[in-house]
Amino acid sequence: MTDNAGRRVRVRFAPSPTGPLHIGGVRTALYNYLFARQHGGDLIFRIEDTDSGRFVPGAEEYILEAFDWLGIKFDEGVSFGGKYGPYRQSERRDIYRKYVDMLLEAGRAYIAFDTPQELEAKRAEIPNFQYDASTRMGMRNSLSMPKSDVDALIATGNQYVVRFLIEPDQDVTVNDLIRGKVTISSSVLDDKVLYKSADQLPTYHLANIVDDHLMEVTHVIRGEEWLPSAPLHVLLYRAFGWEDTMPQFAHLPLLLKPEGNGKLSKRDGDRLGFPVFPLEWHDPKTAEISSGYREKDYLPEAVINFLALLGWNPGDDREIMSLDEMVSLFNLEKCSKAGARFNYQKLVWFNHEYIMLKSDAEIAQLFKPVLERNGIQESDERIEKAVSLVKNRVNFVGELWDSCKYLFQAPTEFDEKSLKKWWKDEAPKTTAELCDFIEAQPDFSGQALEPAVMAWIAEKGYATGKVMNALRVTLVGAAVGPHIFEITDFIGKEETLRRARKAIQALA
């Protein structure tokens, strides 16, 4: 598909490497991904690192690793290549300078020398001071000063900024695919700084617009926090004369606290015990460690599915969707304007569903390292079988160990409650008899053993529940677990008898 101007759909995810990627950023990237795939377009990965003061080492690598884990693939950009590069803004200085000069020459921007101290003094002097049409002539800039003074200041190495000249009293309309038309008056905007001579870099606004233009971006899909910048961006497109190819905007709803009031923050995660980052993050400055979904044992598919539904739904009550299904069902215009609650408990449910959806073989591969950490080496086939017996009982792969360790090793402890309930009266005696009976059985497979044992119990006049639970306690260590004959089948005749007889002795 193409956009209104007949262009191939191109979208971008453009994080600033100022720290770990917030989960809201993951949702933004996901929606861009779904939109690009749906329209057979391109998804660009751009790094917006023009604010050198906020640069955090390792953040870019972290973001890439997170998308790799999540299975979100980019078509071009930093680390992916492409013909619109470089895709890291700090490597595009010369390009931006050219566009800054264009605005200066066209009289759409001007040079300002006001120092931070001077600006501070103005703010103290004038309540609600804003650098704009009403104040700019009282400031030190190329509009208020003679050209010779401006040239002299630059020639003698004074630092300056370039500001956008905003004409007051113009209507600026942002046409948002999610929010509709939003019109404001240009008078509320200030003459934003577009460029700083000190680091020879543009600010976010200029770099963002120039790059979206040069990279032929057709749709800007980003978080609601960028909505206030959108009118300024529209004015910049106008100033450059690029209105015809201006991207369509779509500002995604905020992610809200689980309780619903206010924006989701890292503090909410700390308070309620859930990560707000895809991967664990080690802060290089403070050495603080923030938890991540990967390390907390979530499946990437579950995280993706959960995030996809925070701000959008397919129009029915379908919840479990593969990435491909989401691609075909996604509809940007059906995204909600209202914020989406971050109901993290729902993510636990998704994780369980994805454990059930994945094949036993896939889960077995994830479970294998957990087993190995616990000193268990088993064939893939046996691990798969174990997984099939207990996976419906867990929400996380890591929980499988506690749910099925008895399949791989004899219990070393016995649960008090289970003993109290099932290991009393005749239990040791009937279990010993049952062992003798089982030992004499020629066919130990669950299929053969179950009817044989049932017939034996009936013949003896014992209570099935009592006999079977007593045996279960000796094999498992507690009255839990899957069907008892699945367990005996899995651990085998010798081990069944060894455990049961050992427990009779140990519990005597």
Least spacing, CB of residue 210 vs ligand GLU, in Å: 12
Minimal distance, residue 14 CB to ligand GLU, in Å: 4
Q: Which residues contact 500 (CB under 8 A, 6 or more apart)?
A: 431, 434, 435, 471, 474, 475
* End-to-end Cα spacing for the chain: 76
**Residue 43 pairs with which residues in a beta bridge?**
11
Distance of CA 125 to the CA centre of its chain: 45
Q: Which of 9, 14, 166, 256: binder of ligand GLU (CB under 6 A)?
A: 14
Q: What is the DSSP letter of 47?
A: B
Please report the beta strands in 165-214, taking only residues with DSSP state E, as ranges in sequence order: 171-176, 180-185, 193-196, 201-202
Q: If binding is defined by CB under 6 A, does position 414 make contact with ligand GLU?
A: no
Q: Is 214 left (phi over 0), alpha (psi -120 to 50) or beta?
A: alpha
Residue 251 CA to residue 430 CA, distance in Å, equals 70
CA distance 243 to 493: 78
d(CA 59, CA 78): 13
Shortest distance, CB of residue 211 to ligand GLU, whole angstroms? 9
Number of residues that bind ligand GLU (CB under 6 A): 8
Active site residue 266: yes
Using a 10 angstrom Cβ sphere, with 0-12 exposed, 13-18 middle and 19 or more buried, the burial of residue 190 is middle
Please say which residue, 48 or 360, places its beta carbon nearer to ligand GLU. 48
Reference 85, options 52, 32, 46, 33; nearest CA is 46
Query: 3-state class of 401 per DSSP?
Result: helix
Q: Which of 3, 9, 10, 15 binds ligand GLU (CB under 6 A)?
A: 15
* Residue 55 within binding range of ligand GLU, rule CB under 6 A: no
Shortest distance (Å) from residue 327 CB to ligand GLU: 21
Residue 226 vs 242, nearer CB to ligand GLU: 226
111 binds ligand GLU (CB under 6 A): no
Tell which positions 415-474 bind ligand GLU, by CB under 6 A.
none
Specify the residue, 48 or 268, whose C-beta has the smaller distance to ligand GLU: 48
Phi then psi for residue 248, to 5 deg, are -80, 140
Question: According to CB under 6 A, which residues from 186 to 215 bind ligand GLU?
Answer: 208
Stretch that binds ligand GLU, among 8-16, 75-83, 100-108, 155-163 (CB under 6 A): 8-16
Least gap, CB of 221 to ligand GLU (angstroms)? 8
Contact code string over 249-288 relative to ligand GLU, x by CB under 6 A: ----------------------------------------
Contact with ligand GLU (CB under 6 A): which of 48, 211, 360, 486?
A: 48
**Cα separation of 88 and 469, whole Å?**
64
Other beta carbons less than 10 A from residue 336's beta carbon: 13
Residue 251 vs 358, nearer CB to ligand GLU: 251
Cα angle 12, 13, 16; round to 5 = 130
Site stretch for ligand GLU (CB under 6 A), options 13-21, 247-255, 307-315, 373-381: 13-21
User: Segment near ligand GLU (CB under 6 A), from 12-20, 175-183, 248-256, 432-440?
Assistant: 12-20
- Does position 247 bind ligand GLU by CB under 6 A? no
Which residue number, 226 or 237, has a Cβ lying nearer to ligand GLU?
A: 226
Q: How far apart are CA 23 and CA 255, in angstroms?
A: 9
Q: Which of 73, 196, 266, 421 is catalytic?
A: 266
Tell me the residue ranges of DSSP E strands in 124-190. Answer: 161-164, 171-176, 180-185
Question: Considering beta carbons, is residue 251 or 499 the nearer one to ligand GLU?
Answer: 251
Q: Using CB under 6 A, list all residues that contact ligand GLU.
A: 14-16, 48, 208, 220, 222, 226
Catalytically active residues are: 266
